[in-house]
Amino acid sequence: MDKPRRIWVNTLLFSLTFVAAVTLVPWYGFQYGFSSSDWLIAGLFLIFNGTAITAGYHRLWSHKAYEAHWSMRLWFAVWGAMATQNSIMHWTSGHRRHHTFVDDYDKDPYSASRGFWFSHIGWMLKEYDPKANDFSNIKDLKRDPIVVWQHRFYLPLVLATNIGFPLLAGLMTGNIVAALLLAGVLRLVLSHHFTFFINSLAHIWGKRPFTDKNTARDNGVLALLTWGEGYHNFHHIFQYDYRNGIRWWHYDPTKWIIYFGSKVGLTKGLRKVSHYRIEKARIDMQFKYASEKLTCQQALQTLEEQYQAISQTWHEWSNVRQKWMVLKKQELKQNWETSDIHTQYEELKSLLQEQQKQWQLARAGLLT
């Protein structure tokens, strides 16, 4: 096989902006200082870029976790172009392959099995990906005129936003150089690496509470830098969920944007995996980890019995839930509240809740 050719545009873009951010920016800061409005504007640009990638490129377009009004899609397309991570079409097509072939050395475009450097940035520096221009897995997105428009005018958009927006900011604050350095260069470098951490660190550092079939990790610290995308283990098993952090207190600003958008008519059709499916995945892993750790046969047997009981109830509950879905689809006029399936569903739900409580108690007792 031929050696992959270097992609010079990317190599120069990443290295020159990085060097400028660690030399020119601090030098200017020490010599002349930055004002609070310089920082504020750079911070806002960083937020708009980051969330355009997480809420737009990622959860909306790659995973279709919800639907968004055209004005919101346009917002994401423009600020996403400014983030300079390629067009929506390129980004989503690669990301869908990342999920389908996660960790595969050749087929996952930023496979974590090739190490930190490759998954972080190395994959963009040379022509490693033979399918980089294969858009067969994003046919659905070609129907979105905003996606097509952004792809067609990607380069002018990148230049207009990355030069134009900081220039405008500089005219407002009265200091164009400071704006170009902070809102231009430093903002771009931080925005790049915060996103890149999701492909690198979020596949290396953290816990795997939902699945160990891939390298993706849950990590609350990374969530702080990645607008909520640090809960990557959950995301890889339930990719259609509009949330990554499922608890209300999990730091996931992307989820909050999508949620509040639904309250003002900007987003709709928010997809959520059922609580019991999530808990089932968690219990499966807890049982697996406990089996590896527990040496006392008696304790293991107790845990196994409870695990079997929960699995059984969960299985029945999902069957009943499926029947309910069918009924809902057929739009049968029968009154759901008084139907047998509803009673069965509610009974199984409370049984599951009870069994889950017992499970947590037994696990805590046996593992200490």
- Please give the Cα distance from 249 to 153 (Å, whole number): 39
219 and 232 in contact (C-beta within 8 Å)? yes
Q: Which residue lies nearer to Zn ion by CB, 216 or 285?
A: 216
> Smallest gap, in angstroms, from Cβ of residue 65 to Zn ion?
9
> Strand runs (DSSP E) across the chain, as ranges?
67-68, 267-268
- Please give the Cα distance from 192 to 199 (Å, whole number): 12
Tell me the three state secondary structure of residue 218: strand
Q: Give the DSSP letter of residue 129.
A: -
Q: Give the DSSP letter of residue 164.
A: I
Cα–Cα nearest to 40, from 169, 195, 197, 131: 169
- Please give the Cα distance from 201 to 163 (Å, whole number): 30
Q: Which residue lies nearer to Zn ion by CB, 154 or 234?
A: 234
> Smallest gap, in angstroms, from Cβ of residue 193 to Zn ion?
16
> Smallest gap, in angstroms, from Cβ of residue 42 to Zn ion?
27
Burial of 104 (0-12, 13-18, 19+ CB in 10 A): middle
Q: Which residue lies nearer to Zn ion by CB, 100 or 358?
A: 100
Question: What tokens does 283 get?
Answer: 């219990």
Q: Which residue lies nearer to Zn ion by CB, 57 or 165?
A: 57
Q: Which residue lies nearer to Zn ion by CB, 175 or 195?
A: 195
> Smallest gap, in angstroms, from Cβ of residue 141 to Zn ion?
14
Q: Which residue lies nearer to Zn ion by CB, 188 or 216?
A: 216
Q: Which residue lies nearer to Zn ion by CB, 227 or 317?
A: 227
- Please give the Cα distance from 262 to 53 (Å, whole number): 19
Q: Which residue lies nearer to Zn ion by CB, 138 or 216?
A: 216
Tell me the three state secondary structure of residue 152: helix
Which residue number places its CB atom closest to Zn ion? 216
Q: Which residue lies nearer to Zn ion by CB, 38 or 103?
A: 103
199 and 110 in contact (C-beta within 8 Å)? yes
Q: Which residue lies nearer to Zn ion by CB, 25 or 216?
A: 216
3-state helix, strand, coil in the chain (%, to 5): 70, 0, 30
Burial of 178 (0-12, 13-18, 19+ CB in 10 A): buried
Residues lying near Zn ion in the complex (CB under 5 A)? 216
Helix axes 36-51, 165-173, angle to 10 degrees: 160
> Smallest gap, in angstroms, from Cβ of residue 55 to Zn ion?
12
Helix axes 24-31, 8-22, angle to 10 degrees: 30
Enumerate the β-bridge partners of residue 267.
Answer: 68
> Smallest gap, in angstroms, from Cβ of residue 126 to Zn ion?
21
> Smallest gap, in angstroms, from Cβ of residue 46 to Zn ion?
21
> Smallest gap, in angstroms, from Cβ of residue 266 to Zn ion?
21
- Please give the Cα distance from 350 to 230 (Å, whole number): 31
> Smallest gap, in angstroms, from Cβ of residue 85 to Zn ion?
14
210 and 224 in contact (C-beta within 8 Å)? no
> Smallest gap, in angstroms, from Cβ of residue 54 to Zn ion?
10
